[in-house]
Homo-oligomer: A and B are copies of this chain.
């Protein structure tokens, strides 16, 4: 997640120079093609680029809308994970009847620790990093069992359910409290699945492919049209208009896969660390890990 809404000219150039170069190259070629060949035969009517430009603005807007929806849904899912994590710890710490058996507080504590493991395992899964940080919050035995599974966070949830059943059999939670805790477990499973859905579902590639093709189409036609009235200046203005369309399209694409590990994606490191701190604090754990710092005061991962 970027933190600043100002970019210096240098940064803009660093981000877009490849694109700039490509557009200028294409506009130059179009300019020469028009000047030394096409112009001698025909003159492109203005209306063609007008209609194409308007239509393109629509189609880019459509892609951006869907991209933003994916990004914001991803953010909502992790927001819900934050909320359910706090409720999970609050319920376990306050509603277990500790008088029933000596081991009850231990079970509750390890269910909270294990939830932190779930978060980190889910994050590693979504980002495909293979990060094993989550193992620190599991017992050795659990870490081993879980590591053989096709879906590690899901395997952790199964252990949680087994412990929840044990709490119930020990009489530490009654049926009412059991349902509240199990509802939270089910919701964690739902959030996990929803995040996987976004990560695994490719945005229809034909939309992106053809939009990109149409933008190049438009850039070329626009340069043809401009070349006839303003000569080699058509490269400058062709680039300017092409830049607006291409950059807006790129903006959409950059947030389309919100669980990747880059400056535009959701700051999963920071979010999961915040929950970690919240939960450890509720457990009275010392010392607390420090929050994730922005990279170069610039973005959060």
Contacts and interface: CB of A to CB of B under 8 A. Distances in A.
A14 to B, nearest CB: 13
A129 interface: no
A162 B94 contact: yes
Contacts of A162: 94
Interface stretch (A25-33, A82-90, A112-120): A82-90
Contacts of A56: 55, 244
Contact of A254 (B93, B206, B251): B206
Interface in A197-223: 197, 201-202, 204-210, 213-214, 217, 221-222
Given A62-B64, A182-B180, A45 B226 contact: yes
Contacts of A254: 204, 206
Interface string A74-110: 0110011011001100110111000000000000000
A194 B53 contact: no
Q: Name which of A52, A94, A208 has the most chain B CB atoms within 10 A of its CB.
A: A94
Nearest to A180: B182
A188 to B, nearest CB: 10
A52 B204 contact: no
Contacts of A225: 45, 47
A151 interface: yes
Given A66-B68, A204-B264, A210 B247 contact: yes
Contacts of A42: 229-231, 233
B50 A83 contact: no
Given A41-B233, A83-B194, A54 B54 contact: yes
A199 to B, nearest CB: 11
A293 interface: no
A62 B255 CA distance: 15
Contacts of A282: 158
A22 B264 CA distance: 30
Contact of A229 (B45, B62, B79, B158): B45
A240 interface: yes
A272 interface: no
Given A79-B193, A83-B193, A174-B175, 19 more contacts: A1-B202, A41-B230, A48-B237, A52-B241, A52-B244, A55-B56, A56-B244, A57-B59, A58-B60, A62-B68, A94-B161, A94-B162, A95-B161, A151-B278, A175-B177, A180-B186, A204-B254, A206-B254, A217-B240
Interface of A: 1-7, 12, 41-62, 64-66, 68, 71-72, 75-76, 79-80, 82-83, 86-87, 90-91, 93-95, 149-151, 154, 157-158, 161-162, 164-165, 174-180, 182-183, 185-186, 189-190, 192-194, 196-197, 201-202, 204-210, 213-214, 217, 221-222, 225-226, 229-231, 233, 237, 240-241, 244-245, 247-248, 251, 254-255, 264, 277-278, 281-282, 288
